Amino acid sequence: MKYIDEFRNGTIAINLSRKIDDLVRGLDTVTIMEVCGSHTMNIYRYGLKKLLPSNIRLLSGPGCPVCVTPTSYIDTAIAISQKYSQEVLITTFGDLFRAPGSTSSLEREKARGASVIVVYSTLDALEVAKNNAGKKVVFLGIGFETTTPTIAASIIEAEKRDLTNYFVLTSHKVMPPVMEALLRDKELNLDGFLCPAHVSTIIGSKPYEFIARDFHIPCVIAGFEPLDILQGIYMLLEQITRKESSVRIQYSRVAKYEGNPTALALLDRVFEPCDAEWRGLGIIPGSGLKLRNQYERFDAHTIFRISDFGFQINSAICNPQSAINGCICGDILRGVKLPADCKLFGKVCNPEHPVGACMVSSEGTCAAWYKYGEN
């Protein structure tokens, strides 16, 4: 297949791996973190760690949107479906459907009779709202800068269509603040970031410049194919060995310095920054997006008066061990533990019966280890 195969060429991969080996021979351990679930998956799928010398340590960070969504968010969605069972339809993407909250998941609640519909796009959710005029339709809006513009577009479209029964339960995240939090984490000692590719196609490379300037940590925006990732690692190592730090773009066929101005304008029109909870990482200032006041009527938090629910929906916020017994997803998302450190991995926790979010999502680190091995 033209174009894809070019980025999976084994001979070029081995040559790149030799160049990397030459570059870092004799160096102490270099720790690079990828903060993108698709990078994580492809690193495992293509066995890329085996192509790297032993003094390069690749860590997977909080790059999977379902994995970083706190249990309290799932608890809130379930609580809405229970408290307003006669009037609410919950719509969600499939990956969140199975994600565990404190005591249940939307999948389990649906089996018990809750009105939960899996949709493939926000436009599907709008259709559900149109076809169920007597119900309040709540879309579960999670994800990074990549998906949030589509949710912004759905709100503008709902306004255009005069839909008064469409609401979004927002838990959107933005990447640069969590990368800063990781750099401030004393348990981590990162030497470079492989920046998230999908996110970077939207935000561009500029928002990472503070990382190179203030923390002297090099960043490379790399694509998803094996050669993209290897070249991205090589571009990071070039900077690390020269003691340089800048933001470079390997994925130049898609990601641009200025990002995607149309998507950014859409984001800015509908959303504004807020603090956000991340599973395992707690509350990170400025790392979330909430609806602007003028779109408040679409905000499920306001409409359902979630702050009045009277139960501890935020109980898991500051507990890095997560609220789920024995699950160490939080530490895995911070890059301080590996799936092999979890005593539940592969025993009671597997993709068929996931205990934590990192095993539910196809982009989760535990799911990648389970599917492709330690690598």
Least distance between ligand SF4 and beta carbon 108 (Å): 16
Within 13 Å, how many C-alpha atoms sit on residue 95's CB side? 20
Q: Is 358 one of the binding residues for ligand SF4 (CB under 6 A)? A: yes
Least distance between ligand SF4 and beta carbon 348 (Å): 8
Q: How many chain residues touch ligand SF4 (CB under 6 A)?
A: 14
Output 140 or 328, the one with its CB closest to ligand SF4: 328
Q: Is 355 one of the binding residues for ligand SF4 (CB under 6 A)? A: yes
Output 211 or 359, the one with its CB closest to ligand SF4: 359
Site string for ligand SF4, 274-313 (x = CB under 6 A): ----------------------------------------
Q: Is 204 one of the binding residues for ligand SF4 (CB under 6 A)? A: no
Sheet of strand 166-173: strand arrangement: 116-118, 88-92, 136-143, 166-173, 282-291, 271-278
d(CA 74, CA 358): 14
> Applying CB under 6 A, which of residues 284, 342, 361, 363 lies at the interface with ligand SF4?
342
Q: Is 359 one of the binding residues for ligand SF4 (CB under 6 A)? A: yes
User: Which structure tokens are listed for 192?
Assistant: 């470079």
Q: Is 328 one of the binding residues for ligand SF4 (CB under 6 A)? A: yes
Closest CA to 179 of 214, 152, 146: 214
Output 129 or 355, the one with its CB closest to ligand SF4: 355
Output 230 or 342, the one with its CB closest to ligand SF4: 342
Q: Is 143 one of the binding residues for ligand SF4 (CB under 6 A)? A: no
Output 132 or 362, the one with its CB closest to ligand SF4: 362
Tell me the window of 9-17, 144-152, 257-265, 337-345 that interacts with ligand SF4 (CB under 6 A). 337-345
Q: Is 329 one of the binding residues for ligand SF4 (CB under 6 A)? A: yes
User: Which residue type sits at 202?
Assistant: I
d(CA 96, CA 79): 15
Q: Is 366 one of the binding residues for ligand SF4 (CB under 6 A)? A: yes
Question: How many residues comprise the chain?
Answer: 375
d(CA 154, CA 164): 13
Angle at 184 between CA 55 and CA 363, to 5 degrees: 65
Tell me the window of 198-206, 299-307, 309-317, 326-334 that interacts with ligand SF4 (CB under 6 A). 326-334
Q: Is 356 one of the binding residues for ligand SF4 (CB under 6 A)? A: yes
Q: Rg of the chain over CA atoms, in angstroms?
A: 21
C-beta nearest to ligand SF4: residue = 356
**Is 66:364 a contact under the CB 8 Å cutoff?**
yes
User: Which structure tokens are listed for 23?
Assistant: 């570059």
User: Which structure tokens are listed for 345?
Assistant: 């991995």
Q: Is 316 one of the binding residues for ligand SF4 (CB under 6 A)? A: no
Output 286 or 346, the one with its CB closest to ligand SF4: 346
Tell me the window of 81-89, 175-183, 199-207, 356-364 that interacts with ligand SF4 (CB under 6 A). 356-364
Output 31 or 350, the one with its CB closest to ligand SF4: 350
Handedness of CA 221, 179, 75, 90 (dihedral sign): negative
- Mind giving me the DSSP string for 151-206? HHHHHHHHHHTT-SSEEEEEEEE-HHHHHHHHHH-TT---SEEEE-HHHHHHH-SG
Q: Is 327 one of the binding residues for ligand SF4 (CB under 6 A)? A: yes
Output 139 or 345, the one with its CB closest to ligand SF4: 345
d(CA 196, CA 60): 11
- Mind giving me the DSSP string for 305-322? TGGGS-S-TTTTTT-TT-
Which residues would be at the binding site for ligand SF4 (CB under 6 A)?
327-329, 332, 339, 342, 344-345, 349, 355-356, 358-359, 366
